[in-house]
Structure 1
Amino acid sequence: MWTGTFYALCAGLMWGLAFVGPLLVPEYPAALQSVGRYLAFGLIALPLAWLDRHALRQLSRVDWTEALKLTAVGNLLYYVCLASAIQHAGAPLSTMIIGTLPVVIAIAANLRNARRDGRLPWARLAPALLLIAAGITCVNQSELAALRAQTHADLSRYGMGALLALGSVVCWTWYPLRNADWLRHHLGRSPRTWATAQGVATLPLALIGYVLVWLYLHATGNEFPMPFGPRPMVFIALMAAIGLFASWLGTTCWNEASQRLPTAIAGQLIVFETLAALSYAFALRGKFPNTQTMLGVALLVAGVIWAARVKPVSLECVEAERL
């Protein structure tokens, strides 16, 4: 349990870096940032795939198809929505909407995977979910208050950002459930190999996406300088860093956690990503979070600690208690 939690923490710290990119290069279209990040991820995965080629050869066509589905939804589509949300609504608001993932995934997994993983008793799980939800609410209220204080705030733009962030939530509710299905049914396979396989599957999709974004910008008369934008060295270095740390290393750590933890618990530990992203966002702002935000963070941490102590109960035991 604690080893899995440690890996989930490392994954969260790595994934939090993905929230930094749109803030550092706000003039770059969100779609270009998404395909750029995963093009870098795919290129980084190639030498890793060569080193792991014997294990990758053991993957079937069905496995590669699953890797392709996971990377299309959980990587490309997710990050297009996320980067767009951050550009429209800012990092803290987008981060906290994404922060609902622990609650959403825990509920979905408890309904969907009870027979495989055991059911987390709702009575024991409810306090953790309430603490996490209360923490998210505190930070959201703080950000909305700051938004209302701005004289030139564009509420419609922020509303669109919120909707895009909800799209990210949908993508990343589906991804960890499907990813955990594969990992739990292939316990003899290396989580590192599966992360590399997803990187290799990402490469052709990202390359096609990059070309399509280029063609779209040209067709619409956009004067954005392609292929690498107005700050090519910054863009390339940033995409490479996010591709290595947030994509490959973060996915590897998450796969390690997913093999060790019930999906309902692993889903709640995505809260580490929320905490990391908030920390990075406020560091870039150069200001310390206010009291309400700090209270929200404390509630999130308390909820995670509570959830990690809840043990799943097999359905046989639940049915026996009812009898």
Structure 2
Amino acid sequence: MLIGILCALCAGLMWGLVFVTPLLLGDYPGVVLSLGRYVAFGLIALVPAWFDRRRIGLLNRQDWTVAFKLALVGNLLYYAMLATAIQLADAPLPTMLIGTLPIVISVCANWRPGHVSESVAWSRLAPSLVILCLGLTLVNSSELERLRSTIGNMRSTTDYALGCIIAVCAIAAWTWYPIVNSRYLRTHTHINSITWATAQGLATLPMALIGFTLFGICGYASGSDYAFPLGPRPGVFVVTMLVIGLSASWLGTLLWNKASQLLPTALVAQLIVFETLAALLYAFLLRGTAPDLRVLAGVVLLCIGVVYGVRTFSRRAAVSHSS
């Protein structure tokens, strides 16, 4: 369990980087950031695929079908929606909406567990979920107050609302992804976490290349002023895409796969809060301001909620082992 938690923590630190990327590259459309990130992920995955070609070759048709579905929904669609939402509503609010994932996924995973061993009594799961919810509420209230003081026209209000809607769609995509990914790995224990991360990268590459090509064709046909393919800052764009392609995509996916194999789905879901905490840290560093007391109180509650959830599943594991 400790190894699984540490893997989830490190994955969260990697994934937190993707929340500030749309702010660093605000002159790039969210779709381009998603496609660029996953073209980089796919190209990077070619290297470990060569060294791991024996195990990659053992993956069957069903494995590749699932890998393609996970890559499309959990990679391309999710990050395109997330990047667009951040550019419309700024980083902290979409980050905190995405931060509800620990609650949403835990409820969904426990509502219909893939196996009886994954289920936990609602009375035992509820306290950690309530604490997480209170923490998210505190942080969200602070960010909403800040947004009210900075929104000065209807266009900004519209952008904010649209960003929230798109963030909710991203939540739906990433509720589906970790549940399906975790259960597939737990029922196919012969698949190595590194192999599975590489397979998802390979599955992502052709879809990202096709999407990038279609974006360029549509932009040319519509007379878009976007400097296709690498945009107004080619060097910064390429370096950033390679960094998040390696750290957030390949390494983050590898670490998350390992956590998914070692921990129950409902617990893994709660540990997604590490991504939220990392994204908040990076966003406030980029903003150059310190979080207020409500944000700090919310962060403390999020940490308490995670600890409480871990203890709940630890006690359950101990009881199952003794019986």
State TM-score, norm by structure 1. 0.95
Which residue, 241, 244, 254 being the options, matches 2:243? 241
Shift in alpha-carbon separation, 1:140–1:51, aligned structure 2, 3 A: same
Note the C-alpha offset of 1:119: 1.8
Residue equivalent to 2:100: 100
Deviations 1:25-54 (A, max 9, x none): 101011111000000000000011000000
Match of 1:211 in 2: 213
Within the alignment, does 1:149 sit opposite 2:175 as a pair? no
Report if aligned partners of 2:267, 2:313 keep a CA contact under 8 Å in 1.
Answer: no
Which moved further from structure 2: 180-189 or 56-65?
180-189
1:172-251 → structure 2 map (5 Å cutoff): 172-251=174-253
Between 149-158 and 124-133, the greater mean CA deviation after superposition: 149-158
Residues 1:76 and 1:12: Cα distance change in structure 2 (over 3 Å): same
Matches within 5 A, 1:1-323: 1-113=1-113, 115-150=115-150, 152=152, 154-311=156-313
Q: Secondary structure at the match of 2:215?
A: helix
Alpha carbon RMSD of aligned pairs, Å?
A: 1.5
**Alignment check: 8 A CA contact 1:121 1:312 kept:** no
1:288 deviates by 0.6
Q: State the AA in 2 paired with 1:257.
A: A
Q: Distance in 2 between matches of 1:117 and 1:86?
A: 37
CA offset digits 1:102-131 (Å, max 9, x no partner):
000000010111634332121121111011
Letter in 2 for 1:258: S
Give the Cα separation in 2 of the matches to 1:118 and 1:137. 28
**Cα distance between partner residues in 2 of 1:275 and 1:134:** 15
Give the 3-state SS of the residue equivalent to 2:313 in structure 1.
Answer: coil
Structure 1 position 3, deviation (Å): 1.1
Sequence identity percentage: 53
Question: Does the residue aligned with 1:189 lie in a helix, a strand or coil?
Answer: coil
Check conservation: 1:7, 1:256, Cα contact below 8 A: yes
What count of residue pairs does the alignment treat as equivalent?
316
C-alpha separation between the residues in 2 aligned to 1:78 and 1:107? 20
For 1:223, give the aligned amino acid.
D
For residue 137 of structure 1, report the CA deviation from its aligned partner: 0.5
Which sections of structure 1, spanning at least 5 residues, go unmatched?
319-323
Tell me, yes or no, if the aligned pair for 1:89 and 1:157 is still in contact at 8 Å. Answer: yes
2:28 alignment partner AA: Y
Superposed displacement of residue 84, structure 1: 0.4
Structure 2: how far apart are the matches of 1:151 and 1:80?
Answer: 24
Q: Deviations over 1:52-91 (max 9, x none)?
A: 0000010001111110000000000000100000000011
Displacement after TM superposition at 1:8 (Å): 0.3
Q: Deviations over 1:177-202 (max 9, x none)?
A: 11012100111221010000000000
Cα distance in 1 for partners of 2:62, 2:74 equals: 18
Deviates more, 1:149-158 or 1:221-230: 149-158
Q: Secondary structure at the match of 1:309?
A: helix
Amino acid at match of 1:219: A
Find the aligned partners of 1:142 and 1:39 in 2 and give their Cα distance.
36
Q: Report if the CA contact (8 A) 2:118-2:265 is conserved.
A: no
Mind listing any 5+ residue stretches in structure 2 that lack a counterpart? none
Q: How far apart, in 2, do the equivalents of 1:274 and 1:86 lie?
A: 14
Partner Cα separation in structure 2 for residue 116 and residue 192 of structure 1:
27
* Closer, same or farther: CA 128–84 of 1 in aligned 2, 3 Å: same
